[in-house]
Structure 1
Amino acid sequence: MRKEKGFYAAKIYQAFRRNLLRGRYLGNSSLPVKIFAEPLIKLLSWRKRMKVFPADPWGTRMRFLLGWWEPETVKVCEEIIKPGMTIVDVGAHVGYYTRIFSELVGKKGKVLAFEPHPATFNFLSFNIPPFSYPNVKLFPLALSDRKETLALFEVKGSGKHSFYDVSSLAERDPQAYEFKKKWKVKAEILDEILDEHEIQNVDFMKVDVEGAELRVLKGAEKTIRQSANIQLIVEFNIGTLSLAGVLPEEFIKQLKNLGFRKILGVDDVERKLRPVKELWERAQAGYIDLLCSKS
């Protein structure tokens, strides 16, 4: 009888996980969510010592706390990142990837994490305390191709804030892209920051900045070119790129101009790397992550 119960419990767990990974169960308003999910999220947040934004869909928060967010991208990172590496995390959000990077590079590695949104940076600082993550340096900054002060558009979805008015993308997700307010944030150039910290080589970068990816990469061009084996995970979101005036074909071309000869899309549904063209429609409807390598 106990084995039978264990079998059914495992099946329920697998179905729950499968639907979460596919983006289902994301509404906050239903009674079961309020009764069962919210207390569980609070417990997980306490156990993991990780704050997540209450306004985000409960399924999103659950995936963060259970380590089920973007599983294939995480797998790619785990296969690439080795102890002792230097990692740059641009658009660190609440530190989901920053924690993973810190554990992968170990005591001899370094992680530099950048997050410009004030409230999000507060969550990031709580989630990445220096006594637990001594190999991580946090920066309350945006990155760009010049030093400047930028307007940051805050929307309801905590991972959707952008230097462009993304509320025009509301047909994708009316709640996530609901405009809230504008912030003024400071932007710096990554090459200059790395020079200040005497870092000449970067092994891996993650860039997720809702349309401003090319600006970040242009400000890191020197580092990218002199880092022979650097690999990059970058968000490819045709909607946000269009707000920046960047055509998707031009985005891919600029990545190649930076020396990234091999560019593949990360398929989180089929759990594999695929040619970018095969995932083009998904990048139009939402986003995909690209893995960019020099060889």
Structure 2
Amino acid sequence: MADTPPSTPIRRQFFGLDASLYEVDGATYIVPDKHADHPYGKRIRVGEYYEPKLHKFVTRHLKNRPGSMIHAGTYIGDMLPRFSQAATMLYAFEPDLENYLIAKSMVEINQLKNVYLLNAALAQKAEVLGLVVEADGKHLKGRVQVARDELALSDRERDTIDRQNYVASIVIDQLGITDLSLLQLDVEGFEVTVLRGAEDTIRACQPAIVVEDKSPACVQYLTDLNYRLTPTNLNGNALFLPNAAGRADDA
């Protein structure tokens, strides 16, 4: 729950999308009408944050261990105001152009000076990737995903794909981040591929790692990097810590 109730919404348009603006805890949140039924839209209207346990962990962790944070995928920027307050530098990535433009507006409205936001995917190598953005004629919102064989789309998903765009990918190790304290990935099953492109940074910085992917492949990959899965449940996200680190409560 936010510390203050949301304000009366203000109506605006962003890039042709009708939207409502809500003031919560001193920050402005954009909810496009087409995203109003997303859990973020439903929660922010009543002064609550989507994935509140994740918000609290990020704030606590970066207070205990100041440094930079990587946040991918950013969706429409609903977590940017709070994450940027906690991080010295917030590197944010959103592959879908429409989502990115709303997230960029969120950065501008809130004057977030320490956010490095890119319309790009993260991957093991720099390349051009196909991006599935629609299914059944509807925008996938926070479920936009890279169209790669390893994602093993279901037959139904393949049959209902209406539109595929293309996006450039970036490799975390090429960013040259030396103070990475937290790596948070919600990339629709693409986590292991992203992590492969971050191995040098992970070994050098030993960040806490939060991933939505709890598959055996992802768990094993991080185990091989000398990380352990903690029992902490961050709204369905898994927390991994370096084996040399303390308890999750101290992360």
1:77 — aligned with what? 58
Deviations 1:64-95 (A, max 9, x none): 45333112222222221228421111211111
Displacement of 1:42 after TM fit? 4.9
Partners of 1:170 and 1:57 in 2: CA distance: 25
Structure 2 stretches lacking a partner, 5+ long: 2-7, 13-18, 246-251
Mark the runs of 5 or more structure 1 residues left unpaired by the alignment.
1-12, 14-38, 172-176, 238-247, 269-287
Separation in structure 2 between the aligned mates of residue 250 and residue 121 of structure 1, nearest angstrom: 29
**Is residue 2:46 matched to residue 1:98?**
no
Distance 2:38 2:120 in 1: 28
**2:108 pairs with 129, 142, 148, which one?**
129
Question: For residues 86-131 of structure 1, what are the alpha-carbon distances to aligned partners after superposition, in whole Å with 9 as ceiling and x for unaligned?
Answer: 11112111112222111123xxx11111111111110010001187
CA contact (8 A) 2:91 2:115 kept: yes
Q: Superposition pairs for residues 102-251 of structure 1, below 5 Å?
A: 102-105=84-87, 109-129=88-108, 132-155=111-134, 156-164=139-147, 168=154, 179-193=161-175, 195=176, 199-228=177-206, 230-236=207-213, 248-251=215-218
Work out the percentage of aligned pairs sharing the same amino acid.
23
Report which of the two has the higher share of helix.
Answer: 1
Q: Does the 8 Å contact 1:261/1:292 carry over to 2?
A: yes
* Higher Cα Rg, which structure: 1
**SS across alignment from 2:227:** coil
Equivalent pair of 1:146/1:188 in contact (CA under 8 Å): yes
With over 3 angstroms needed to count, the CA separation of the structure-2 counterparts of 1:143 and 1:79, relative to structure 1, is same
Number of aligned pairs? 216
Looking at structure 1, the residues matched to 10 and 57 of structure 2 have their Cα atoms a distance apart, in angstroms, of 27
Q: Hey, what's the Cα distance between the residues in 2 that align with 1:98 and 1:234?
A: 17
1:86 aligns with 2:76: no
Q: Is the 8 A contact 2:75 2:94 kept in 1?
A: yes
Aligned residue in 2 for 1:63: 43
Rounded Cα–Cα distance in structure 2 between residues aligned with 1:58 and 1:41: 18
Sort the Cα spacing of 1:267 and 1:178 in 2 relative to 1 into closer, same or farther, 3 A: farther
Contact 1:167 1:179 in 2 (8 A): no
Q: Is the 8 A contact 2:143 2:188 kept in 1?
A: yes
Would you say 1:263 and 2:243 are equivalent positions?
no
TM-score (norm 1): 0.65
What one-letter code is carried by the residue in structure 1 that aligns with 2:111?
S
Higher strand share: 2
- CA-based RMSD of the aligned residues comes to 2.9
